[in-house]
């Protein structure tokens, strides 16, 4: 399971193409990685039944780039979060989507900041029509109901949280969840916390007829995560500068990637961009 | 174990436009619980969501909830 974090899955028409794309993305040569062929791919007939070739590239330990960033992420997370290991039940379709294509597209820091991390296109953004109390009360009620049905006893307290955004940004409504043994509510790579937040946003937004950027937090996880991510970003930036090579971080949610972009926005010697698609997007720190 | 069915109903009803057409059947095995969820045909897109996000969020919460009792859960949207 540890290897999964630092390895890169790439798909293309053929195994060779996938390997080449992956090496290019990692900025490594063939002898610096372990190559595992996950799917050899099929041609199919007239494109029907064809499958893309999928390979997994894992940088060898002596390679500076990924292994160190990975170790740092592990230690940073170990230091700040006590998470139970929920077994990874990665569904097949997810894997296929995640490795679908290696798409390198620039996501400038400013762009990343301007976009609310989870804004959904189907519900128009409409900021000032509803009194905040209504949103807070309805969000609290929905979250309590979800937790109750999940069989989890916890307190939900809504608050406006300037501590969870950067100065000058509009503070979001946060629902703080407190109680005993709430590690399961965070889950592996905060998957459960994100799901909970997404459901609450959907429920409230549907009632309010406008997209609500509500944050669900468990035992101050968000603040700790913000801190450890920005510290890690700065360490990785130093590493990129001293080695002169780009550092590819592990795949993260849009919200987490944004924290990294913001943390290094004013760094004199590096710039950042996100590469990869969907759940496989990774921040890359590039020396100037 | 009725709470998984209730959880599914609550989440599904909150997402669809025709809440009255949401149905959930729960089949409990030794270690696996299967939840069969059906919604109005024109709500299929809403229940699955963009790139499966809604369905995946529901599955994650169901899995977390079932894991407390040492069970596995499979949500099928039919």
Nearest CA to CA, how far is A196 from chain B (Å)?
7
Which residue on chain B is closest to A98 by alpha carbon?
B51
- Is B57 close to A198, i.e. CB distance below 8 A? yes
Answer whether B53 touches A (CB < 8 Å).
yes
- Tell me the C-alpha to C-alpha distance, in Å, between residue A186 and each of A48, A177, A190, B72: 41, 11, 5, 18
Residue B26 is predicted with a pLDDT of 93
Q: In chain A, positions 260-279, which contact chain B (CB-CB < 8 Å)?
A: 278
pLDDT tens for B42-70 read 999 999 998 899 999 999 999 999 998 88
Which of A116 and A243 is assigned the larger pLDDT? A243
Q: Is B19 on the interface with A (CB under 8 A)?
A: no
Look at B50 and A120 and tell me if their CB atoms are within 8 Å.
yes
- Mean pLDDT of the region A125-152: 80
What pLDDT does B50 receive? 87
pLDDT of residue A6: 64
Task: Say if residue A87's pLDDT is above 90.
Answer: no
Tokens 């599904």, located at residue: B12
pLDDT band at A62 (very low <50, low <70, confident <90, very high): low
Say if the Cβ atoms of B63 and A89 lie within 8 Å. Answer: yes
For residue A108, the model assigns a pLDDT of 37
Chain B residue numbers with beta carbons less than 8 Å from the beta carbon of A152 are 65, 68
Give residue A48's pLDDT. 56
**For residue A50, what pLDDT band results from cuts at 50, 70 and 90?**
low
- B56, closest residue in chain A (CA to CA): A195
Task: Compute the nearest-CA separation of A130 from chain B (Å).
Answer: 19
Highest-confidence segment of A25-39, A57-71, A95-109: A25-39
Whether residue A137 contacts residue A204, with contact meaning beta carbons closer than 8 Å, is answered with: no
Distance CA A6, CA A2 (A): 7
Mean pLDDT of A186-191: 88
Stated pTM of the model = 0.61
Cα separation of A191 and A186, whole Å? Answer: 7
Distance of CA A42 to the CA centre of its chain: 31
- Candidates B5, B10, B12, B60: best to mutate against A (most CBs of A within 10 A) is B60
Please report, rounded to a whole number, the percentage of residues in chain A having pLDDT higher than 70.
69
**What residues of B are in contact with residue A280 (Cβ under 8 Å)?**
none
Rounded to whole angstroms, how far apart are CA atoms A23 and A248? 12
Q: Reply yes or no on whether the pLDDT at A212 is more than 50.
A: yes
According to DSSP, the residues that pair with A251 across neighbouring strands are A282
Give the confidence band of A142 by pLDDT, cuts at 50, 70, 90.
very high
């Amino acid at each position: 399971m540890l290897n999964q974090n630092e390895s890169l899955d790439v798909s293309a028409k053929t195994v060779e193409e996938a390997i080449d794309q992956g090496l290019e993305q990692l900025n490594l040569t063939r002898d610096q990685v372990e190559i595992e062929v996950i799917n050899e791919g099929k041609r199919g007939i007239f494109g029907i039944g064809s499958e893309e070739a999928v390979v997994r590239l894992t940088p060898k330990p002596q390679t500076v780039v990924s292994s160190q960033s990975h170790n740092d992420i592990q230690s940073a997370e170990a230091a700040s979060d006590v998470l139970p290991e929920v077994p990874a039940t990665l569904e097949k379709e997810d894997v296929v989507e995640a490795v679908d294509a290696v798409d390198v597209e620039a996501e400038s820091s400013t762009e990343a900041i301007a976009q609310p991390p989870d804004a959904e296109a189907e519900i128009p953004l409409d900021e000032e029509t509803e009194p905040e109390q209504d949103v807070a009360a309805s969000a609290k009620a929905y979250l309590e109901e979800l937790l109750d049905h999940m069989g989890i006893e916890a307190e939900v307290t809504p608050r406006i949280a300037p501590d969870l955004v950067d100065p000058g940004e509009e503070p979001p409504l946060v629902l703080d969840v407190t109680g005993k043994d709430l590690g399961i509510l965070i889950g592996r790579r905060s998957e459960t916390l994100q799901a909970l937040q997404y459901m609450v946003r959907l429920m409230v937004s549907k009632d309010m007829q406008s997209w609500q950027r509500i944050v669900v937090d468990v035992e101050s996880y968000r603040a700790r995560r913000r801190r450890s991510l920005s510290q890690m970003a700065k360490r990785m930036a130093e590493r990129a500068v001293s080695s002169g090579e780009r550092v590819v971080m592990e795949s993260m949610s849009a919200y987490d990637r944004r924290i990294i972009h913001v943390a290094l926005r004013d760094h004199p010697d590096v710039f950042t961009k996100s590469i990869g698609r969907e759940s496989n997007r990774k921040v890359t720190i590039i020396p100037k | 174990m009725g709470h998984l069915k209730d959880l599914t109903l609550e989440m599904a009803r909150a997402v669809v436009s025709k809440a009255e057409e949401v149905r959930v059947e729960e089949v409990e095995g030794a270690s696996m619980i299967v939840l069969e969820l059906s919604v109005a045909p024109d709500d299929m897109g809403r229940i699955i969501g963009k790139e499966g996000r809604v369905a995946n969020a529901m599955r994650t919460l169901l899995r977390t909830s079932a894991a407390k009792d040492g069970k596995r859960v499979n949500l099928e949207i039919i």
